């Protein structure tokens, strides 16, 4: 239902039956002006059709960790599949670039991505610095126009998916993780993307209805403080009847039933002293909510906590333990089977650190609702993916400032060891033979000559697959469903050696180049870099 709705909402789209980008604001104008000014300069120099290869990669894992999850690929493919400048957009560009010649705008209105090739690591994969997440090949002027939208679609998606995966790792597999961040996200699209990619990274559900609608993600929610405050007392409840779920029984006055039980609990021997004053507007709100949702009742219990209970992380541990004791006591006292195991949800500015602290203190929380810190990636609000030219007209290119890029159109492999864990990623030139299972191979650090190791892989995976073949005859990888991507992501995380994934001092995963590529990088480097003069 939801998936169908989403497909309808976004339109069937153009190229290859791929739907349009989820956010209708993702158009060819969603780019930096310099992509258009450069396109003009390329066109003016007659270079616009030069065949260029760009790598999209990042330089450093986020959040002090040693892994990243790749997100945003599907939206990139949707973008290029439907890439076409409209007449109104062209008119706007003319007004923005008034000195450019007419022929350029005619060229702009003619372009699409039919001669662009995109190779990518599957979405939801565990990925590492320097290894291209995507390799994009095509006419240089067109590929430049894709740079900013691709980065805008991949950077945040990968960042927040990684953040979600980190929260899953610290919370453990048995806990329910709920994403509650829409109101604090960086704008509406930030909120929608957060819900989607947190689910991909291992969350169970979101509070965001639009994300449920667009992506078919499970949605969850109960009530807020305002609901509690809106009740004055039990007189607010007019319709007090409640039918049993199979319709066989009917309680005529649920409010009295609640009051009677409250009195019984207060008097019960094992519970005496646990209960003090009951705030009647709170009781009315809970009763009313139970009448509306008898099968999915969950009460928010901290609206009136002025007597000293505070929901910071330390007390959350204590409070959850006390609540569990109380639930168990009720189960024992009145023989309500299962009451002791009732769900305890916690949500109050939670993040990786506070969940880690709760684990250390011991807690009885079943579900965590996580908002601000998760969706805004508060601990590190940006991932620095870059988009670098590595080859033009079959000539390798290298950028030497600050961070040296790895030149050439490449192939990338993940090599697995005896115990089934990935050992190292290796990049080779396009035409080098693929690493073979059981064959010894030298893996070199791309820039540090002393760092190298022989590996005998037990299993080899080529990392990048063809998601947009352009004019080649390569088969196109299908875009999997969000649930498939999520399962793949969970599977990949499970396969990693635990010391790469731990929160404290994780071991860096090794990324390498072949001996041949190493030599070539250093040949180019020495060739391009001027010799300094000390003055």
Q: How far is the CB of 413 from a copy of itself (least distance, A)?
A: 26
Q: How far apart are CA 512 and CA 469, in angstroms?
A: 27
Pick the closer one to a copy of itself by CB: 24 or 314. Answer: 24
> 408 or 463, CB closer to a copy of itself?
408
What mask, x for binding a copy of itself by CB under 8 A, covers residues 301 to 340?
A: -xxxxxxx-xx-----------------------------
Binding window for a copy of itself (CB under 8 A); candidates: 106-114, 164-172, 296-304, 326-334: 296-304
Closer to a copy of itself by Cβ: residue 18 or 441: 18
Greatest Cα pair distance, the chain, in angstroms, is 95
Give the one residue of 77, 81, 182, 329 binding a copy of itself; rule: CB under 8 A: 182
When binding is defined by CB under 8 A, the residue of 176, 279, 458, 487 that contacts a copy of itself is 279
> Is 99 one of the binding residues for a copy of itself (CB under 8 A)?
yes
How far is residue 444 CA from its own chain's centroid? Answer: 31
* Contact window for a copy of itself (CB under 8 A) among 258-266, 299-307, 436-444, 463-471: 299-307
**Residue 191 CB burial class (10 angstroms; 0-12, 13-18, ≥19):** buried
Interface region with a copy of itself, contact rule CB under 8 A, candidates 140-148, 358-366, 426-434, 438-446? 140-148
Angle at 65 (CA atoms; ends 62, 70), nearest 5 degrees: 55
Closest separation in Å from C-beta 398 to a copy of itself: 8
Residues 96, 434, 437, 453: which binds a copy of itself (CB under 8 A)? Answer: 96
Q: How far is the CB of 62 from a copy of itself (least distance, A)?
A: 12
| Minimum CB distance to a copy of itself, residue 521 (Å) | 14
Q: How far apart are CA 430 and CA 409, in angstroms?
A: 6
Of 337, 322, 330, residue with least CA distance to 268: 330
Q: How far apart are CA 266 and CA 326, in angstroms?
A: 12
Mode of pairing for the β-strands spanning 367-370 and 51-57: unpaired
For the bound state, the minimum distance from the C-beta of residue 142 to a copy of itself, rounded and expressed in Å, comes to 13
242 vs 493 by CB, closer to a copy of itself: 242
Binding mask 399-428 for a copy of itself (x = CB under 8 A): xxxx--------------------------
Verify binding: residue 149, a copy of itself, rule CB under 8 A.
Answer: yes
**Residue 385 and residue 56 in contact, taking contact as beta carbons nearer than 8 Å:** yes
Per-position x/- string for 194-223, each x denoting binding to a copy of itself as judged by CB under 8 A, each - no binding: -------------xxxx-xx-----xxxxx
Choosing from 11, 24, 362, 498, the residue that interacts with a copy of itself (CB under 8 A) is 24
Binding to a copy of itself, residues 30-59 (CB under 8 A):
30-38, 40-42, 44-47, 50, 52, 54
Task: Give, to the nearest 10 degrees, the angle between helix 280-292 and helix 254-267.
Answer: 130
Q: Record the tokens describing residue 170, joined without a space.
A: 């610290």
DSSP character string of 345-412: EE-SS--HHHHHHHHHH-----EEEE-HHHHTTTT------EEEEEEETTEE----SSS----S-EEE
* SS3 annotation, 459-521: EEEECCEEEECCCCCCCCCCCCCHHHHHHHHHHHHHHCCHHHHCCCCCCCCEEEEEHHHHHHH
For position 188 contacting a copy of itself by CB under 8 A, the verdict is yes
Q: Provide the mask over 511-530, with x wherever binding to a copy of itself is found by CB under 8 A and - wherever it is not.
A: -----------------xxx
Decide if residue 504 touches a copy of itself (CB under 8 A): no
Beta strands 250-251 and 117-120 are unpaired
Contact 352, 167 (CB under 8 A): yes
- Tally the residues of the chain: 535
The strand pairing partners of 448, in sequence order, are: none
Q: Is 238 or 504 the residue whose CB approaches a copy of itself more closely?
A: 238
429 strand-pairing partners: 410
User: Residue 397 interacts with a copy of itself (CB under 8 A)?
Assistant: yes
Instruction: Give CA torsion, residues 32, 36, 41, 47, to 10 deg.
Output: 110
Of 292-300, 436-444, 453-461, 476-484, the window that binds a copy of itself (rule: CB under 8 A) is 292-300
Size of the site for a copy of itself (CB under 8 A): 135
Question: CB of 446: closest distance to a copy of itself in angstroms?
Answer: 16
Is 273 an interacting residue with respect to a copy of itself (CB under 8 A)? yes
Residue window 352-391: x/- pattern of binding to a copy of itself, with contact defined by CB under 8 A: --------------------x---xxx--xxxxx-xxx--
Q: Which residue, 350 or 463, has its beta carbon nearer to a copy of itself?
A: 350
CA 219 → CA 46, 176, 208, distances in Å? 53, 13, 7
Member of 25, 102, 174, 505 binding a copy of itself (CB under 8 A): 25
């Amino acid at each position: 239902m939801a998936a169908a709705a989403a497909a309808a909402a976004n339109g069937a789209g153009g190229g290859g039956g791929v739907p349009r980008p989820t956010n209708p604001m993702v158009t060819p104008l969603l780019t930096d002006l310099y992509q258009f000014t450069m396109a003009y300069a390329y066109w003016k120099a007659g270079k616009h059709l030069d065949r260029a290869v760009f790598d999209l990669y990042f330089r450093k894992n986020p959040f002090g960790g040693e892994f990243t999850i790749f997100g945003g690929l599907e939206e990139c493919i949707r973008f290029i599949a439907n890439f076409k400048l409209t007449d109104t957009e062209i008119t706007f560009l003319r007004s923005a670039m008034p000195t450019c010649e007419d022929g350029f705008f005619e060229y702009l209105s003619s372009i699409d991505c039919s001669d662009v090739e995109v190779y990518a690591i599957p979405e939801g994969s565990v990925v590492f610095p320097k290894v291209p997440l995507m390799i994009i090949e095509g006419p240089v002027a067109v590929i430049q126009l894709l740079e900013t939208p691709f980065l805008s679609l991949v950077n945040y998606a990968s960042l927040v998916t990684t953040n979600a995966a980190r929260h899953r790792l610290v919370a453990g597999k048995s806990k329910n993780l709920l994403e509650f961040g829409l109101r604090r996200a960086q704008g509406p699209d930030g909120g929608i993307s957060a819900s989607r990619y947190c689910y991909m990274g291992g969350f169970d559900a979101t509070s965001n209805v639009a994300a449920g609608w667009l992506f078919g993600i499970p949605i969850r929610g109960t009530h807020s403080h305002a609901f509690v405050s809106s009740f004055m007392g039990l007189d607010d409840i007019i319709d007090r009847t409640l039918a049993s779920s199979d319709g066989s029984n009917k309680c005529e006055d649920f409010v009295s039933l609640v009051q009677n039980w409250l009195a019984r609990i207060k008097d019960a021997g094992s519970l005496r002293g646990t209960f003090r004053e009951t705030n009647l507007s709170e009781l009315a709100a809970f009763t009313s909510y139970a009448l509306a949702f008898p099968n999915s009742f969950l009460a928010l219990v901290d609206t009136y906590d002025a007597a000293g209970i505070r929901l910071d992380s330390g007390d959350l541990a204590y409070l959850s333990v006390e609540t569990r004791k109380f639930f168990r006591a009720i189960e024992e006292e009145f023989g309500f089977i299962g009451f002791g195991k009732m769900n305890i949800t916690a949500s109050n500015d939670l993040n990786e650190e506070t969940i880690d602290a709760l684990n250390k203190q011991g807690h009885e929380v079943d579900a965590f609702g996580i908002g601000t810190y998760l969706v805004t990636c508060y601990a590190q609000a940006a991932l620095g993916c870059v988009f670098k030219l590595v080859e033009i007209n079959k000539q390798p290119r290298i950028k030497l400032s600050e961070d040296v890029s790895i030149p050439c159109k490449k192939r990338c492999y993940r090599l697995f060891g005896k115990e089934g864990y990935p050992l190292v990623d290796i990049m080779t030139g396009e035409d080098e033979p693929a690493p073979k299972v059981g064959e010894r191979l030298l893996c070199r650090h791309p820039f540090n000559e002393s760092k190298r190791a022989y590996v005998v892989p037990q299993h080899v995976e080529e990392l990048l697959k063809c998601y947009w073949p352009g004019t080649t005859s390569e088969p196109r990888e299908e875009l999997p469903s969000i649930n498939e991507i999520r399962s793949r992501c969970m599977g990949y995380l499970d396969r990693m050696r635990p010391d790469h994934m731990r929160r404290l001092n994780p071991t860096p995963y090794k990324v390498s180049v072949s001996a041949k590529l190493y030599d070539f990088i250093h040949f180019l480097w020495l060739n391009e870099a001027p010799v300094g003069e000390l003055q």
